[in-house]
Amino acid sequence: MVGELIAGRYELEKLVGSGGMSNVFRAHDRLLERTVAIKILHEQYTRDEDYVERFRREARAVAQLAHPNIVTVIDRGEQDGRQYIVFEYIDGENLKELSARGPLDPHEAIRLALQVARALSFAHDRGLVHRDVKPQNVLLNDDGQAKVTDFGIARSLDVHGVTQTGTVLGTSDYIAPEQARGQKVDPKTDIYSLGAVLYELLTGEVPYAGENFVAVAMRHVNEPPPSVLDRRPDCPLRLDLAIQRAMAKDPEERYGSMEEFCTELEGCLAELNGRADEGATMIVPPPPRQRRAKKPRQRLRVPWTPILLVLLAALLVAGGAYLLLHDGAETPTLARGASPKPVQLQGAGAFDPIGGDGEHDSVAGRATDHDQATFWDTEHYSNFTKEGVGLVLKAPESTALSKLTVNSVGTNFDAQIKGGDSRAGPFTDLTGDFQQVGSSKAFNLDTHDKKYLYYLVWLKLPFEGGQAKISEVTART
């Protein structure tokens, strides 16, 4: 097939991958003069309408996943009865090749796992479960950015993963127990597989070894999650516990969502960087305590009278200090409520009600990827006459934020923060007047305890124009 011309524009140059359902070729796009990747369904499946429709349906769904850590679908079609999908071409190694050179530093392992987790969370929010999360399906571009591929394309006779009845199982080295049993999969299946991938990045080995698919799959079903610390004593305990929870046999014992797993990994990274106070609240549950046999009580003779006198004196002093300091004032709000905690927002898209080309809607996720080197940006204006344009951010759930911090590079701009229940608005002003954003600006939000699912950074550039670039947005309740 090398040398063949597909759709009159894609010239097949080299076979770069092969699976049970399709082949992947590097190709040259003659129309746009660029290199692309083409996945072509195996000929034996083109006569099965079920497979053809599945291929088409998944291609349409994955084409909607515009995320910086997901390989972009460019085109799809049919030629001579053969179905094909065109992707962006990533000229780099995959995570399997990277880990084969040895265990990764925990910082790097978490950084890559976080990018994969954000991509999967983005897909889960749109109703897609990957079903075959493995290092081979995570490509690295020239900048070291992770790109998840093979999203939702069901495999049927893959050498690594189906039953004789054609039930898709996935790759056995990373397979979730419920998937190995042929049960229904959901987003928690991807959480398990990503936990197995992270284990391999840190140890250089798969969690369970075996002679064949069935032997490995049964170990995933029956054996407890392995500890990274057994292979890597320098691994932080919190990270080890996070992986074990992700790989819990019972899906109900895993993280509630991929977003929750992201939050915990961010907390692990913050601790490694010495910024535990800035990281996410630890949500890994402590291991169950073993009950100890009760010892018979021994009576201890204590001279209570002096102790009681000391306690009474302390209470009198504390009470007097309280009255002097408060003088009848109301107890501060912070003492009555929960402590502020970080909230992981997700770049949902751009907002330009006046119209235009979307203000780079597809790269909104770069403003929440915890990478200051990437950013969401507006169009470049020679003069700015609009009422404003904005960046829409989505919270994991409806939340009353108290603070939102915007970090930017390039041209200064003025901004307000607004809240709403829909990505398309309407939005309610939460900060009053516009405030100038330099390299960093923390906005105090007045939500009046109302919870919003979406938050909008509504900005104005100087009249003489320029371009706003938001590199990172963080938030707290």
Contact 130, 152 (CB under 8 A): yes
Lookup result for tokens 């009249």: 463
Structure tokens, 321 = 């200090």
Check if 132 is active-site: yes
Contacts of 360 by beta carbon, 8 Å cutoff, 6+ apart: 350, 376, 377, 378, 379
Which of 182, 197, 51 is CA-nearest to residue 119?
197
Contact 404, 417 (CB under 8 A): yes
Lookup result for tokens 């905690």: 341
Instruction: Please report the DSSP string for 92-151 in residue order.
Output: S-BHHHHHTT-PPPHHHHHHHHHHHHHHHHHHHHTT---S---GGGEEE-TT--EEE-S-
Structure tokens, 192 = 């398990």
The catalytic position among 75, 91, 105, 132 is: 132
Structure tokens, 146 = 């992770």
Ranges of beta strands (E only) in 32-72 are 34-41
Which of 160, 158, 243, 154 is CA-nearest to residue 197?
243
- Alpha carbon distance 194, 175 (integer Å): 10
173: DSSP letter: G
* Residues acting as catalytic residues: 132
